[in-house]
Amino acid sequence: MEKFQEFVAIAPWTMIFTWVNLIILVLIMKKLLFKPVLNMLAARDKEVNEMYSKAETAQSSAEALEKEYSEKLSLAKEEAAKIMKDAKHDATLRGEEIVGEAKKEASAILEKAQKEIEREKEAAINEIKGDIANIAVDIAQKVIEKDLHEKDHERLVEEFIDGWGEDK
């Protein structure tokens, strides 16, 4: 024979079993669902935060490196510019020196040449003077045909020619 409870009636055991069921369910859900999921979410949060902080560290170190390199680069450029400038300056100085030396040398050569010319000229004049004296003596001998002492003749003619050459 099937027995039924009243449709609306207080049955203490049903209530007690409901509480027991709920307590068991709380423990089971906590153990099997809420705790694992919440722990996993916390672990995920932690991992994400760690990744963020790692990324931030990496970024800041990268920025520091970039700054360092750009500083080094600008220093290197400056140095290169300085070296170029120095080299140009040196080259200009050296060039001027070379030109100066060349000019000096050229002028020395010129001077030397002029002196040589002067000396040659003098020698040539002296030679011509000698030749003229001899010719004059020869001519005079031939014209005068007088037996004069040759030395006296030469002296007379030289005196004459000296006076003449200087006038000239």
Q: Where along the sequence are the contacts to other proteins (CB under 8 A)?
A: 2-15, 17-19, 21-22, 24-30, 32-38, 40-41, 43-44, 47
Q: Which amino acid, one-letter code, is at 93?
A: L
- Determine contact, residues 157/136, Cβ cutoff 8 Å: yes
Comparison of 5 and 168: residue with beta carbon closer to other proteins: 5
Comparison of 47 and 120: residue with beta carbon closer to other proteins: 47
Q: What is the dihedral of CA 71, 73, 74, 79, to 10 degrees?
A: 120
Comparison of 10 and 143: residue with beta carbon closer to other proteins: 10
Q: How far is the CB of 32 from other proteins (least distance, A)?
A: 4
Q: How far is the CB of 66 from other proteins (least distance, A)?
A: 31
Structural tokens at position 100 = 């100066």
Comparison of 24 and 62: residue with beta carbon closer to other proteins: 24
Q: How far is the CB of 15 from other proteins (least distance, A)?
A: 5
Among residues 137, 163, 162, the alpha carbon closest in space to that of 150 is found at 137
Among residues 156, 165, 160, the alpha carbon closest in space to that of 127 is found at 165
